[in-house]
Every structure is written in C-alpha cells, then in structure tokens.
Structure 1
Amino acid sequence: MDTRRALLDALADGPVSGPALSDDLGVSRTAIWKAVEELRESGFAIESTAAGYVAPDDPGYCGPGIEFGLDAPYTVEYHDSLSSTNNRARELAIDGSDGVAVVTDEQTGGRGRLNREWIAPSGGVWLSLATRPVAPASRAPLFTLAAAVATVDACRAVGLDAHIKWPNDVLVGSDREDPAADATVDGDAENAEAANRDADARGRGGRKLAGILTEMEGEADRVSWLVVGVGLNANVDAAALPPGATSLAAELDTTVDRRRAAVTLLDRFHALAGTTDRMDRVLPAWRERASTLGRRVRVDTADGPVVGTAVDVEPPGALVIDTPEGSRRVHAGDCEHLRSTDT
C-alpha cells in the first residue's frame, strides 16, 4: 500500500501524529509531510492540531476524498475535466495498471453503447475502473452486471430506490401505469411535467439514472484487462438530459453526496467481482435488484425480436424468456418492457 492510502486509512481512526505515522508505516517524517501536502493540494484539507493530523469534516469530491473510507483496494485518479474516463482507464490498463478508478467532475467526450453520445456535465459521478481480473473472457458479462448492482446500491445509499432493467440500465420509477393521464386530469402542472418524463421513459422500464459501458481485451481463456465505465446522473439538471433520463438530485429534490455514491459503488463492485471466488454472488444480487424478471418484454436481437415473459437470468448474464414457441436464452439485445396492451 502506498503512503497516501496508508495515511488516509490511519486518519480514518482519528488524530494521528507524524512520528507515530512514520513508525507505523516505516517511512521517514519527510515522506509523511510530503504525503500530507500532496493530499492538501488535491483538495483533502488535513488539519494540523496538537493531537496530530486530523481528517477534514468534509473529505470533498476529489481523489483522496473518495479513497478516504474506501474499503476496496483501489487507487483514485481524479480530474476536474476529462474527455472520457473510459479512454483514460483503457490507457492505464494497457500500460499494466490494476485497480485504478479514473474519476472526473465533467466528461466532454463521453459515449455509451454503440458509440451513442453520453451527456456528462459537472455534477455527475463519472468513473471508469481499470482492472486485470483473473477470469476467462466468457465470464466478462458478469462484471457488467456487477457494475449495475453496485450502481443501484450507490443510488440507494443516497436515498433513491433504483432498479435494473436487463442487462445493465439503472432506472427509477415504473412504466406499469400511465401517470401522465392522471396528472392531466388532476390539473397539477408540476406533476404533469414529471409524468411526461415518465411517458418519455415508457418501454424503458422507468427513468434512466445511469449508463454502464464495459470494454476488455483478452483471449478465450483469460481477460488481459477490463474497463468498467459508469456514468451516474447525480447532481445534474434533469432538463439538460435526454428524454426519459433523470438524475438523483431531480428525483430526491436535493443535492446528493457524490462522494458517498462513488465510494459505495466501488466498494460494492469489489465485494461482488473483486476476486474470482466472489463472482457467484453477482447473479443472485442482480436478480434481487432487477425489475425485468416477471415482465413481458421484447428484446431486439441480431436474429430478430424475441417477445415473451422474462423469467430468469443465467450465467454469464443471459436473459431467459418464455415465449409461445418455448424458452429462449438471449445474450444481447435492446430490451423493452411491454404493457398488457403492447405486442
């Protein structure tokens, strides 16, 4: 463990003196002082008191701020602005880095699936984790599902009950009813506006909070490197987002703690997929948070649409759909939640 991370871990237990840190970490007093100054320059405002160094009351949304209290053994590389966290994480992974989370306040060239534009202004949780897991390439989809679970738990940690639409869309709300019509009848303009956002999300299974993009390189028997990118609309104005999308702040009507969301996301991902022996936990956790299972769905695949009832998800992430022609296993495609009147 590097001196910075060891210092952050020590500060989590309360005031600690320079000499004690030097002895505990086996480094010089000068190395401790340099680490403290580097943390301060990064936005983590350590105080010097008679009792020793003290962590700030507000660790801040910065690299050391996110690492502070983080159980997962990840290093955080923080930027005020970056074109793409995935691009940067991919560079690090190719160069041999393992366990580095690239985080930025704003992303100017973000992209989603199929190279779709991803709007990522200041205020979101935009991060990509570069890892080198010991796993066969066939298990790679499990890392994407683990990221979806971790993102849902990050939303719930700040107070919003999110859920997953297969395979990895993180949503809030439901498309089972038509709230727009009810709001119009009631004559409530504010509720009607919110309901119209619901209507824009119809078929998506709810309003979209986050997107996940996974990239990897490897051979059949092993993954050389993996990058898991998450874009979570945290403190973002919902009006700036595409139709059908929303943010944590818009849904909760308050600013959320981005640091807590990022820490929860990274810790939960590591708990599920940080080591190969943990990956059997991914599918059960995904099922518990999924809104797709039990729903009538339409999945547009390369071989045509599959329509039926989603009944399960099987390794390494295939959706099992009961259709009039029998059970189908779908590995990839655009999933739409259907209402009783849809075909």
Structure 2
Amino acid sequence: MSDTRRVVLDALADGTVSGPALAERLGVSRAAVWKQIEALRDEGFTVESTDVGYQVTDVPEYGGSAVAFGLNAPVSVEYHDSLGSTNDRGRELAAAGAADVAVLADEQVGGRGRLSREWTAPSGGVWLSLVLRPSRPPAHVPLFTLAAAVATTRAAREAGVPAEIKWPNDVLVPGGDDEGDRGDEGDALGRGGRKLAGILTEMEGEADRVSWLVVGIGVNANIDAASLPPEATSVREEAGDVERRLFVQRLVEEFYALRENADAVLPAWREHSATLGQRVRVETPGGVVVGEAVDVVHPGALVVATDDGEVTVHAGDCEHLRSV
C-alpha cells in the first residue's frame, strides 16, 4: 500500500474531510485526490461526496485497504487473495529493507508451522505475517512470539472464543477428546484442547542485534471443521463467523501495544496460559523434560518442576499430560 493511500485512509477514518484539505495534506492536486477516492470505490468502499467533503459510509468485508481503514498501529498492509506463504513474502520484504508491514492473505497454498509441519490455510482464515526490525538482541526474540500469542488470544476472546495459550505459541480452545493419544508413561497425552491458531517466528541477525523479524500468525477464523485437521477448531465452530477485518485490526493493535511494553508480555502470557499448572512433557534438543509447568520467565522460557528440581526450557515441543 502506498503512503498516499494510507494518508487518505487515515484522514477518512477520522470523519468527513474535504478534497482541498486532503490535497493540502498530501501535497497533490484535487484531481489526484479524486483518483484516490475512485480507487477506494473500486475496492468496494462506499465514499459519499457531501457538501462538506468525502465521507466513508461502508467498508469492504476484507482486504488491504479495509484492514488499514481505522487501524491504530504504525503498519502498512499488503494483501493477497492467495499466496504461497505470508512468511515467505515477509522474508522477501525484510530482505529488501521493509519494516512494519503486515502481509495478509485470504488463503495460503504453501503454509507451514513449527518444525516444518504442514499448516492448512484455506480461504476464510486469518493468515498474517508482520515484518519488523526491532532494536533488540536475538535472545529477546521469543518475547515477540509470546506477544503474538497474547494478541491472538485476546482477539479470539473478544470474538467469543475461550482461547488459551499452550507454551510456547499455540492458541487453543480447551476441551475435546484427547483420550486416543497415550504417552510413554501410560498417561493420556493431551494437546490441551483444539488448535485455533499457531505462530511461526523467523529472523535474521547477528550476535548482538536482530536484522529483521517476521512473525507469522495463522488463525482458523471463518472455516468449517470439515476443512480442518481433526485436532483443530475455528472461530466459526466455536462462536460463529467473525468480521475478519476487525479481528485483524484488534490482533495487530494488541501486538504493537505489547511490543512497546515488553514488561507487560510475560504477565499477559501467564494470564492466558493453558500450560502453567499442568503436568507436561517437553521434548528439547537436550532430551525430554517431564514435570509440572510452574512459570514462564524472560525471554519466554518455561520453568518445569521435575523430580530432580526445576528445569528452565528455552525451546522444545510441549505436550500436556493427564493422569489416567
């Protein structure tokens, strides 16, 4: 999205604005303003011409300009009807020097999750990647993943879904039948609920600084259960269809608010956690850790109380264990 289009959208979001005022703000002719207004109409906006200026009376259901209209976050939006992967596109933009871009797609045809797992991403979901250039060392990157999980959970709860977070980056809906999975200890192995959303964070950097960061967020929004894996769910299944434009706005705004207040990330994550207080099994590069999840500490590590004492896990694949 061009800077000119974003300025026009921001001005219209504030209320009725005259053509001369827009022309002065943009430093362009009134004819150029009219061209921008016509382009918005072509995208599905209803823009009325009144005696005092232009006024938006209806906004498209979804799309780049629709999400940008009224968005209270310093990002530009790049929208695609279909895309292989929003994270792949985000990496391309980051390599070209971009920052604070939200890459959004109606569907992904090459989506992926953690550990290169396949991610089903049909039309109707929220498939989003945020391109960032944070002034932080690589060791702090997990905070951005946790912030994205909190932002997604808050947006889902506002849509009526009782979402929770499983460490480190899965957003779940509690409940469901997990009895078919059994752990090595004879316990029933639960995912903690049905998966609503996942987060995949990728970065490039040096020892002391991050060059760029791409935070990918995939949410099963307005999707039928038949189109999802059996262990997954959607906003539609849990609470009915959500207005995706407003859902994305809320998610991005919450993420940026947390990004500016890193000290608030861990308390917010703890508040929405499904993992703390649970008996867990975490597969780590150094082996398997089993015990009770008791805390999450900077920059997002899970503290597990085992029979041999507390273990701090910085990375791993976590599963919730239920005693039989």
Same fold (TM over 0.5): yes
Q: What residue in structure 2 maps to residue 31 of structure 1?
A: 32
C-alpha deviation, 1:79, in angstroms:
0.7
C-alpha deviation, 1:337, in angstroms:
1.1
Residue deviations 1:229-275 (CA, integer Å, cap 9, x gap) = 011000011111112100000111x21111111001111111111x4
TM-score (norm 1): 0.88
Please give the secondary structure, in 1, of the residue aligned with 2:205. Answer: strand
- In 1, distance between residues paired with 2:320 and 2:222? 27
C-alpha deviation, 1:115, in angstroms:
1.3
Q: What residue in structure 2 maps to residue 286 of structure 1?
A: 269
Q: Report sequence identity in percent.
A: 64
Q: How does 1:173-252 map to 2 (within 5 A)?
A: 173-174=174-175, 195-196=176-177, 203-252=190-239
Please give the secondary structure, in 1, of the residue aligned with 2:16. Answer: coil
The one-letter amino acid of 1:84's match is S
- In 2, distance between residues paired with 1:35 and 1:136? 41
- In 2, distance between residues paired with 1:150 and 1:43? 28
Please say if 1:301 is aligned against 2:284.
yes
- In 2, distance between residues paired with 1:108 and 1:77? 17
**Stretch moving more, 95-104 or 151-160:** 151-160
- In 2, distance between residues paired with 1:284 and 1:154? 17
Kept in 2, the 8 Å contact 1:44–1:60? The answer is no
1:331 to 311, 314, 317: 314
C-alpha deviation, 1:285, in angstroms:
1.1
- In 2, distance between residues paired with 1:318 and 1:258? 32
The one-letter amino acid of 1:236's match is I
Residue deviations 1:73-123 (CA, integer Å, cap 9, x gap) = 100001111111111111001000001101011111111111111111100
Kept in 1, the 8 Å contact 2:47–2:58? The answer is no
- In 1, distance between residues paired with 2:43 and 2:94? 23
The one-letter amino acid of 1:271's match is A
Residue deviations 1:276-301 (CA, integer Å, cap 9, x gap) = xx212211111111111111111111
Residue deviations 1:178-235 (CA, integer Å, cap 9, x gap) = xxxxxxxxxxxxxxxxx55x65796111110011111000011100000000110000
Q: What residue in structure 2 maps to residue 49 of structure 1?
A: 50
TM-score (norm 2): 0.93
Kept in 2, the 8 Å contact 1:18–1:32? The answer is yes
Q: What residue in structure 1 maps to residue 171 of structure 2?
A: 170
Please give the secondary structure, in 1, of the residue aligned with 2:59. Answer: coil
- Segments of structure 2 that go 5 or more residues without pairing to the other structure are 182-188
C-alpha deviation, 1:48, in angstroms:
2.7
Please give the secondary structure, in 1, of the residue aligned with 2:268. Answer: helix
Q: How does 1:249-264 map to 2 (within 5 A)?
A: 249-252=236-239, 254-264=240-250
- In 1, distance between residues paired with 2:174 and 2:221? 16
- Segments of structure 1 that go 5 or more residues without pairing to the other structure are 175-194
Q: What residue in structure 2 maps to residue 118 of structure 1?
A: 119
Kept in 1, the 8 Å contact 2:19–2:53? The answer is yes
Please say if 1:272 is aligned against 2:258.
yes
Q: What residue in structure 1 maps to residue 185 of structure 2?
A: none
